[in-house]
Amino acid sequence: MRRMDWSGVVVVLAGLAVAAGAGCSTLPPDCPHRFRCGPVDGSGGGGGTPEGCVPSTSGRPVDDACGVFVTASGDDAAAGTKGAPVKTIQQALALAQQEGATRRVYACAEELEGQVELPGGLAVFGGLACANGWTWIGDNEKTTLTAPEGEIPLVMRGGDGAIRIEDVHVTARAIDLSHEAARGLSSVAALVEGVAVEMARCTLEAGDAGDGTDGEAYTDAALAGEQGNPGKEACSGEIVVPGGVKRNACGTPDDPSDDSTGGTGGIGQLDSGADGSAGTPAGDENRGLGENVNACSPGAAGAEGATGEPGPSATGLGALSSSGYTGLSGRPGTPGTTAQGGGGGGGAKGGSTANQCPLDSAGGASGGSGGPGGCGGKGGKPGGPGGASIALISLDAELTFDDVFLKTGRGGRGGNGGPGQEGGIGGLGGSGGIVPDGIQNLKAGCAGGPGGKGGNGGIGGGGIGGHSLGIAFRGSPPPTDGLTITTGEPGPGGNGDGDSAAAGIKADTQEFAQ
């Protein structure tokens, strides 16, 4: 087992223990003041560490000159001595890093709240009975470090030299499943990045992780089509033209590619009515026929839009970074397609004989325009990843363990993909042009057909399940000597359209890509 060089670097927390050495009572003449004790070498056999400054081996109360002292009942404005300890680890670390300070922090065997960022070159000693002269009781009681839900209680990175931690129980809080804002959060006890760390008689414990967010359903349907324009009245002109068409602009105004337009109604003429036109986008031949030998026919309904494709459910491990673990969401479903507009109704023929039109306005009634089709629904929103329960994240770190316990909880369930948005309803067809009162021998124009219903969006893909890992690492594999690891169960993957995302992984150690 490789030993670290602890020269000039020691942080001691109440409830943590460090390597052994000679007592502060044996310090040289230039070490009578606080922050002047010799360095810790991390070997457990003494070296430059005064014996009295190593709580687990001295058997005596820690000397005031050994370092900075912290307790939950302290005051961060205090000097950090045994008689005037500070309240937080972060303030103790700040004092321990002052010029000329002995870089040790000693903490009581009690719970200390708030995230701690520990740089290289420091040692932390916990498990101290502060009411009994700051003596070591770390074999029975530890200093507990914890932080708010979703935060990593202990982060170790930066600085020069190695870090040593003894007799500390780091606890990452479980994620409360009733907190919507905490969906997908991970519970990670500690993260170490780019430094060497030795731990002795410590426990790193992660709680249950949060379940992933389900894809949220849409509360409304896609844009519906309007009713088509009616045809024009018979005898209103020599040639009776239809009303204008209606367009459903489903996309941006300058992008007509997914618009839907009802077909135009047929023209009314003296001797015949013209056919209507088919609705767009192109699909069924749904125009109505104009009156010639036979009466006109109405436009037919537009074809419905196609349902969007489901989004793929997530696969893979996720990623590690300086901020912790990030899982993988599913992909959104694809949008449904725009429906075809209804066909325009056929026009009617006119006439100028008895009980028909006046001679100069003998055109028949024009057909009604088709109703535009409904827009396609948006794709379903993806499910989010389940949070992970990880005792320790190691990013290119060098680790040494001595009687260390790693414990994890349950990985979170991956979120289910959300349903696609409902496609818009097609507009009704416009009515055919009418015959004026008193005209008995002419027929009305034919109505336009209704637009089709837009296709529903495809369902979103599910998010991956959360892992339950003792150590998640990048770089060199961590040692397992000196470790006892207990892991919980991984979370299942979220559901998509007939498939599920990858479940989380349960493992003592798991490598992640750089």
Question: Nearest to residue 303, comparing CAs of 429, 452, 424, 454?
Answer: 452
Q: Is residue 109 part of a domain?
A: yes
E-state strands within 114-215: 116-120, 123-129, 135-136, 143-146, 154-159, 163-166, 168-172, 187-193, 196-200, 203-206
Averaged confidence pLDDT in the chain: 89
Q: Is residue 19 part of a domain?
A: yes
Question: Nearest to residue 188, comparing CAs of 170, 206, 169?
Answer: 206
Q: Is residue 285 part of a domain?
A: no
pLDDT band for position 498 (cuts 50, 70, 90): confident
Measured at the alpha carbon of residue 279, what is the angle toward residues 275 and 284, in degrees to the nearest 5? 90
Question: Nearest to residue 367, comparing CAs of 267, 300, 451, 291?
Answer: 267
One-character DSSP codes across 395-452: ES-EEEEESEEEE--PPPPPPPPPPPPPPPPPPPPPPPPP--TT--S--PPPPPPPPP
Q: Is residue 212 part of a domain?
A: no
The CA distances from residue 110 to 10, 89, 113, 134, 234, in Å, are 20, 12, 10, 12, 94
Average pLDDT over residues 360-372: 95
Average pLDDT over residues 444-463: 98
What is the C-alpha separation between 108 and 20, in angstroms, rounded?
A: 19
For 79-95, the pLDDT digits (tens) are 999 999 999 999 999 99
Question: Nearest to residue 260, comparing CAs of 336, 340, 335, 342?
Answer: 340
**Residue at token pair 């026919």:** 297
What is the C-alpha separation between 257 and 236, in angstroms, rounded?
A: 36
Question: Between the ranges 45-49, 139-143, 254-258, 498-502, where is the mean pLDDT highest?
Answer: 139-143
For 208-221, the pLDDT digits (tens) are 999 999 999 999 99
**Residue at token pair 């530890």:** 142
Q: Which of 33-42, 335-344, 367-376 has the lowest mean pLDDT?
A: 33-42
For 456-468, the pLDDT digits (tens) are 999 999 999 999 9
pLDDT at 51 exceeding the cut of 80: no
The CA distances from residue 330 to 318, 382, 412, 455, 496, in Å, are 12, 5, 15, 21, 8
Average pLDDT over residues 313-324: 96
Domain count, the chain: 1
Q: Is residue 283 part of a domain?
A: no
Question: Nearest to residue 10, comparing CAs of 153, 146, 106?
Answer: 106
Average pLDDT over residues 106-119: 95
For 380-424, the pLDDT digits (tens) are 999 999 999 999 999 999 999 999 999 999 999 999 999 999 999
Contact 22, 51 (CB under 8 A): yes
Q: Is residue 456 part of a domain?
A: no
pLDDT band for position 49 (cuts 50, 70, 90): low
Q: Is residue 359 part of a domain?
A: no
For 29, counting Cβ atoms within 10 Å of its Cβ (0-12 exposed, 13-18 middle, 19+ buried), the class is exposed
**Residue at token pair 């479903």:** 333
Task: Quote the pLDDT of residue 278.
Answer: 97
Task: Quote the pLDDT of residue 254.
Answer: 77
Residue 95, classed as helix, strand or coil, is helix
Average pLDDT over residues 111-122: 94
Q: Is residue 136 part of a domain?
A: yes
Q: Could you tell me the residue range of the domain that residue 84 belongs to?
A: 1-146
